[in-house]
Homo-oligomer: A and B are copies of this chain.
Amino acid sequence: MNFNLSKSIEILERTPTVLETLLNGLSNEWIQNNEGEETWSPFDVLGHLIHGEKTDWIARTEIILSDKADKTFPPFDRFAQFEESKGKTISDLLNEFTDLRNTNLIALKSKNITSEDLTKTGIHPTFGAVTLENLLACWVAHDLGHIAQISRVMAKQYKEEVGPWREFLPILDR
């Protein structure tokens, strides 16, 4: 499948509803348990997605499309959510993510991105030049990757409870 902006927006605009249907109203153990030491719970992942909406995708799109001489992205803080999500409920986070994503998609669409724009570049602090197409494809794959992660973390809560089925459910040992 080749990159396509409107097919990318199909995914980006449904992620808030997917997370809402997957997580809202669940018992705390499904939301707060993780995969073991130094891994993230669904609650942590959602905070990470919120931080991305605030500081990453649109901010970096704007750097790439700007006339600035230095197009280096500020580094992204992968651990910001541990501070920022404190004291919030899963519903708070779902609402916050939904609002931020909606605002960001309005901003994205307002830029009327052309195929020439997609070839423009910015500088990633770790691995150098990336195109706008790379960035937007990454936004989509990042959403889907974290939906997969949340589902996997939840599945693993029943790793022992499935008994001998464990060997038929590779997700439980990934």
A54 at the interface (CB under 8 A from B): no
> Are A144 and B138 closer than 8 Å at their CB atoms?
no
User: Could you tell me the distance between the alpha carbons of A18 and B149 in the complex, rounded to whole angstroms?
Assistant: 15
Chain B neighbourhood of A40, CB < 8 A = none
The count of residues in chain A whose C-beta lies closer than 8 Å to any C-beta of chain B is 53
Interface locus among A44-52, A88-96, A124-132: A124-132
User: Could you tell me the distance between the alpha carbons of A169 and B144 in the complex, rounded to whole angstroms?
Assistant: 10
User: Could you tell me the distance between the alpha carbons of A169 and B128 in the complex, rounded to whole angstroms?
Assistant: 16
Nearest chain B CB to A122 CB, angstrom units: 12
Dominant secondary structure of chain A at its interface with chain B: helix
Q: Mark out the residues of chain A between 10 and 51 whose CB falls within 8 Å of any chain B CB in the assembled complex.
A: 10-11, 14, 17-18, 20-22, 25-27, 29-30, 33
Considering the complex, give the chain B residue whose CB is closest to the CB of A29: B1
User: Could you tell me the distance between the alpha carbons of A16 and B120 in the complex, rounded to whole angstroms?
Assistant: 40
Q: Which of A14, A20, A148, A172 has the most CB of B within 10 A?
A: A148
A sample of 13 cross-chain residue pairs with beta-carbon separation below 8 angstroms, ordered by A number, consists of A1-B30, A1-B33, A1-B157, A2-B161, A3-B161, A10-B27, A124-B164, A130-B163, A137-B163, A144-B152, A144-B154, A145-B171, A148-B148
Nearest chain B CB to A39 CB, angstrom units: 13
> Are A21 and B14 closer than 8 Å at their CB atoms?
yes
Known: A14-B22, A171-B149. Is A130-B164 also a contact (CB below 8 A)? yes
User: Could you tell me the distance between the alpha carbons of A128 and B164 in the complex, rounded to whole angstroms?
Assistant: 9
